[in-house]
Structure 1
Amino acid sequence: MLKSVSQWLPLIGLAFFISSCAKVGPQIVEVRGNTMGTYYQVKYVLSAEQQGDSRLALKALQSDIDKRLELVNDQMSTYRPDSELSRFNRAEKSLEVSAATRQVIEASLTLFEQSNGAFDVTVGPLVNLWGFGPNKKANKVPSEELIAEKQKIVGSQYLSVNGKTISKAIPELYVDLSAIAKGYGVDVIADYLQEVGINNYLVDIGGELRLKGEKPQNTPWIVAIERPAEKQSVQRIINVGDNAIATSGNYRNYFESDDIHYSHSIDPRTGKPISHKLVSVTVINKSSMLADGLATAITVLGPESGLAFAKKYNLAVYLLVKEGDNISEYYTSEFIPFFIEEKK
């Protein structure tokens, strides 16, 4: 017996030596949580060297991510009464706010101008009027008089940024950044990951994504565009590269009255739900904030005007349009490089 054990000892030692010398490969770490009324998910790749860095461990990184997202909520949430945005909405004329809030509002004002008013962060009173606001009691068509009355207090032309202050020309103006703030939050987290040396990641807040680099074994991050249908299915598979991607869908949140379909997407220029057949918009951009806002703007503009808008500004945009019983796709030339394979 002793002879047998002594014969195995060199082999055990050799196995331990080989194991200890084996190269540790890159590892994917995943962090999940809740923010802005939805979920967030962050996947990032750590090299062998980074796996020994306590600052990049799951709990430490999640703590830093949560702090940054909490700050965005404290700045731009309409559900927090003490947020910067809530205090501005209660103010008569103006409020000094953070550089972050000013950045998002300035981007919103640019989109408002470029889209000829299709993207408007002051549309909240009309959204609430149609029953798609926080109470979500969408089942009644408001009168033309009520619509006209609400339109009097809607319009980003009444909103401005002056130095460190945001101002409104009418006291009733109400700003809601939900159509662009999630994208901004994605950018905040992506920029933070790069600051700490993580260059391969996927950041997802409620379906708004920003990606960079690759997964282990040089595998790209792959994104699926959903096909609007009762059952979930995939329309396209794309490789986004080092970019952000946002999709705005117009086929789930609606109500019907007298056999008329009323979408949750409100056109601030008419005060009414959009009535065209554009059901899904996907935008790829370096900035998640801009991709988020652009997807909403194009959804309101509709298939023809939206595609013309995308071509004017050289945007990578993909549209799905309901035509009879079929779903047709339209896209700009800038979107083509992201397709993994042509649709059969």
Structure 2
Amino acid sequence: MRLSVIRPVIAVALATALTGCFNSVDPVSEMYGATMGSTYSIKWVPVDDAPDTEALQADIDGMLARFDAEVSTWRADSTLAQFNAAPAGTCMDMPESVLTMMAQSDRLSAESDGAFDVTVAPLLKLWGFHGDPQLQTVPDQELLEQAMAQVGQQHLHIDDGQLCKDVPLTVDFSSIGAGYMVDRVAERLEHYGIKSYMVEITGELKAVGRKPGDRPWRIAVEEPRDDNRVAQIILALDGESVSTSGDYRNYFELDGQRYSHTFDARTGRPVMHRLAAVTVLDDSATRADGLSTVLMIMGEEAGWDYAVSHQIPAFFVVRTGDVFESRATPRFNALIEGEE
């Protein structure tokens, strides 16, 4: 695994929070599509005996469509939506995707003392993040307590391949779902013998191998600005997944206070700290996706201490007035300086 960073900051037009930088003359195949209410892009160095681009895209699109049918919370007929609509005490057979993500979520929740939680959907709805933006408001305490009675990952458990809930919970895997599918698509590419590739789904990304000419996949991480898109750092990856969480794309302001769409299930409230964005590197895109959420919930101080003590490669961007200040954990610096 090789990883380096290029500075200084340069201005680029980024289609997503994370995107690749490519030379159009590279002999690299590519495909694009829509999924999870957003987009995906895949680039790879062709190999003999692998399917052609059209066949490979049909295969990948099929994977993404099956995943949507299993876990989408925006369609009533998905397996997870049916579970969410069922009453307390329900146990349902679940596909491997749900069981695997639930196991990963339980690990993240336990490691973060409950900061990570996949049942916060009632809170987002209450505060107005699911629906008409005109309804975004700070709820009164009574309504907040009612919503909190339907939140709590500890009320979920897996029993013999079934997912069970003790209270009427709504499960939403949006905090790790894209990362999970990045890992699955990467596995599919390697199944076909493809060893050098970049997979990006809704901004979650994994890059492996080298491009022709022994050049790395270069990935831009944008500065968390509200007004335009600027690359803050550019990473050269080989074997790492990258995930960025931030409060700069989905929030509302009321009476001069900024309310993020990132919620702490332990309080029922949006995070209110100065951390604008955090980027995490990990071999697993699923785990990078989840860890960036964990650190974003914890904030610039508790999140930093957690990342350092758990040796997480993380890059923090803190909002100080109109200025952004950034710092990287020792583990992140060790990776970009090639000390491993």
Into which bin does the TM-score normalised by the smaller protein fall? 0.7 to 0.9
Query: Is 1:226 the equivalent of 2:222?
Result: yes
Is it true that 1:69 corresponds to 2:61 in the alignment?
Answer: no
AA matched with 1:130: W
Distance 1:285 1:61 in 2: 26
Report the counterpart of residue 307 of structure 1 in structure 2.
304
**If you compute each CA radius of gyration, which structure gives the higher value, 1 or 2?**
1
- Judge conservation of contact 1:239–1:340 (CA < 8 Å) in 2: no
Q: Which residue does the alignment assign to 2:162? A: 165
Tell me whether 1:128 sits opposite 2:125 in the alignment: yes
**From 150, 155, 177, the counterpart of 1:153:** 150
Which of residues 48, 52, 58 is equivalent to 1:57? 52
Pairs within 5 Å for 1:120-269:
120-170=117-167, 172-229=168-225, 230-269=227-266
Give the number of aligned pairs: 311
Report the 3-state secondary structure (helix = DSSP H, G, I; strand = E; otherwise coil) of the residue aligned with 1:61: helix
Paired with 2:213 and 2:325, the residues of 1 have a C-alpha distance of: 36
Asked if structure 1 preserves the Cα contact closer than 8 Å seen for 2:70 and 2:78, the reply is yes
Deviations 1:71-111 (A, max 9, x none): 11111111222222112112231101112210001111111
Cα offset for 1:326?
Answer: 2.2
Q: Normalised by the size of structure 2, how large is the TM-score?
A: 0.87
Identity %: 38
Which residue of structure 2 lines up, in the alignment, with residue 41 of structure 1?
A: 41
Per the normalisation by structure 1, the TM-score is 0.86
- Kindly indicate whether residue 303 of structure 2 is the aligned counterpart of residue 289 of structure 1: no
Q: Write the deviation string for residues 206-254 of structure 1: whole angstroms up to 9, x where unpaired.
A: 1100110011111100111111222211211212321111001112211
Q: Structure 1 residues 138, 203: closer, same or farther in 2, change over 3 A?
A: farther
Matches of 1:339 and 1:323, distance apart in 2: 26
> Cα distance, 1:131 vs. partner?
0.7
Q: For 1:242-267, what per-residue CA distance to the aligned partner results, in whole angstroms no more than 9, with x for missing partners?
A: 11110011122111111111111121
Matches within 5 A, 1:268-279: 268-279=265-276
State the 1:323 CA deviation. 2.0
CA distance in 1, matches of 2:224, 2:174: 23
SS across alignment from 1:261: strand
Amino acid at match of 1:330: R
How far the C-alpha of 1:290 sits from its partner, in A, is 0.8
Aligned residue in 1 for 2:13? none
> How much does 1:311 deviate?
2.0
Give the match for residue 295 of structure 2: 298
Task: Give the whole-Å Cα distance in 1 for the aligned partners of 2:218 and 2:62.
Answer: 28
For residue 115 of structure 2, what is the amino acid of its counterpart? Answer: A
- Give unmatched runs, 5+ long, in structure 1: 1-24
SS at structure 2 position matched to 1:46:
coil
Counterpart of 1:224, as a letter, is A
Contact 1:26/1:45, CA 8 A, preserved across alignment: no
Which residue in 1 is equivalent to 2:12?
none
- Checking the alignment, whether the CA contact within 8 Å between 1:245 and 1:282 is kept in structure 2 is yes
Q: What is aligned with 2:324?
A: 327
Supply the distance in 2 between the matched residues of 1:297 and 1:101 (Cα, whole angstroms): 20
The farther-off stretch of 155-164 and 78-87 is: 78-87
Q: Which has the higher contact order (CA 8 A, sep 6+)?
A: 2
Cα distance in structure 2, aligned partners of 1:253 and 1:338: 30
Q: Which residue of 1 aligns with 2:4?
A: none
Unaligned segments of structure 2, at least 5 residues:
1-24
Instruction: Give the CA deviation at 1:139.
Output: 3.0
Given that 1:237 and 1:340 are in contact with CA atoms closer than 8 Å, whether structure 2 keeps it comes out as: no
The answer to whether the 8 A contact 1:180-1:292 is kept is: yes
User: Distance in 1 between the 2:288 and 2:104 partners?
Assistant: 11
Greater helix content: 1
More moved, 66-75 vs 191-200: 66-75
Helix, strand or coil at the partner of 2:308: helix
